[in-house]
Amino acid sequence: MSKPKDSIAKTIGVAAALCIVCSIMVSMAAVMLKPLQVENQKLDIKKNLLAAAGLVKSGATKVEIEQAFANVKTILINLDQGQEDQSVDLATFDQVKAAKDATLGKLIDAKTDVAKIKRRERHSKVYLVGSNGQVELIVLPIYGKGLWSTMYGFIALAPDTKTVRGFSFYQHGETPGLGGEIDNKKWQASWIGKIALDGGNFGPIIRVLKGKVNSASPQAASQVDGLSGATLTSRGVEGMVRYWLGKDGFGPFLANFRQGGITL
Ligand SMILES: Cc1cc2nc3c(=O)[nH]c(=O)nc-3n(C[C@H](O)[C@H](O)[C@H](O)COP(=O)(O)O)c2cc1C
């Protein structure tokens, strides 16, 4: 009688070999796709930055994004001094890592920390858009805690440094349909034209309400509708905007800009 071809050892051997082959293929795919993923992430950040500046539409192609981005001047500033700082390499500067670093970042005093981020970087990128030497838009990277996540976005300001010209998010983990409505283009558009800073002392006056803005209210120009069913995310958005436009955020830079210290 011939020996049976199947045996437990053979089955386990084949299953193990298959597992090894599959895991090698998955790992190789992950490693090979990583650069593409990183590139796509960077492209998405650029797209959102440009969307905040109103320079591209949501369906923009890679070529359109790169072309539009070529017209944006990126500078690196020292947040406390509000001045351009060329001692830090713009090409390798990583804002998120800098915030966590003992020397490149700093602790934020709890009373000041309305964005609930605990630490922030000492330097930041700022994006300038304009023509003929005139800055027409200042785009600032901002972030803060929502209900579930840190929300990362861009706010674009007019050269008066107080009028919002655009707002967008490129990363967050809020619930789709609730806090995730921060991605809603209509809601983002409702920020355009809002007066975020006081015309006198340039302190933040923008508010995200619980509910709708009463257009007859004298404060309506500095108020935005809250997201329904997402009061906590809405509060987070208000906190992040107020922190970054305030004196511990981009306040010194915006003051410097108003005094003519920043040019294209
Ligand atoms: C599964 C689940 C997900 C939620 N996600 C969010 C969210 O992303 N943002 C938010 O502000 N509230 C979220 N909420 C609701 C909050 O717990 C809270 O009820 C809400 O912020 C209150 O807002 P409202 O006063 O506008 O209803 C979520 C609730 C549940 C049950």
Domain range annotation of the chain: 71-258
Q: Using pLDDT thresholds of 50, 70 and 90, give the confidence band for residue 3.
A: low
Number of Cα atoms under 13 Å in the Cβ half of residue 219 = 13
Per the CB < 8 A criterion, the answer to whether 140 and 154 are in contact is yes
pTM: 0.88
Rounded CA separation 47/2 (Å) = 68
Q: For position 50, what pLDDT does the model report?
A: 93
Any atom of ligand 1 within 6 Å of the Cβ of 179: yes
184 CB under 6 A from ligand 1? no
DSSP label at 17? H
Q: What is the pLDDT of residue 57?
A: 85
Q: Ligand 1 within 6 A of 178 CB?
A: yes
Question: 174 alpha carbon to ligand 1 midpoint, in Å?
Answer: 9
Name the strand (E) or helix (H) holding 64. helix 62-69
Ligand 1 near 230 CB (within 6 A):
yes
pLDDT band at 41 (very low <50, low <70, confident <90, very high): confident
Cα–Cα distance measured from residue 79 to residue 56, given in angstroms and rounded to the nearest whole number:
28
Percent with pLDDT over 90 in the chain:
80
Per-residue pLDDT band for 188 (boundaries 50, 70, 90) equals very high
Q: Given a cut of 90, is residue 4 above it in pLDDT?
A: no
pLDDT at residue 165 greater than cutoff 90: yes
Q: State in Å: Cα 210 to ligand 1 middle.
A: 13
How high is the pLDDT of residue 132? 87
User: Tell me, what's the pLDDT at 2?
Assistant: 58
Burial 1-26 (b: 16+ CB within 10 A, else e): eeeeeeeeeeeeeeeeeeeeeeeeee
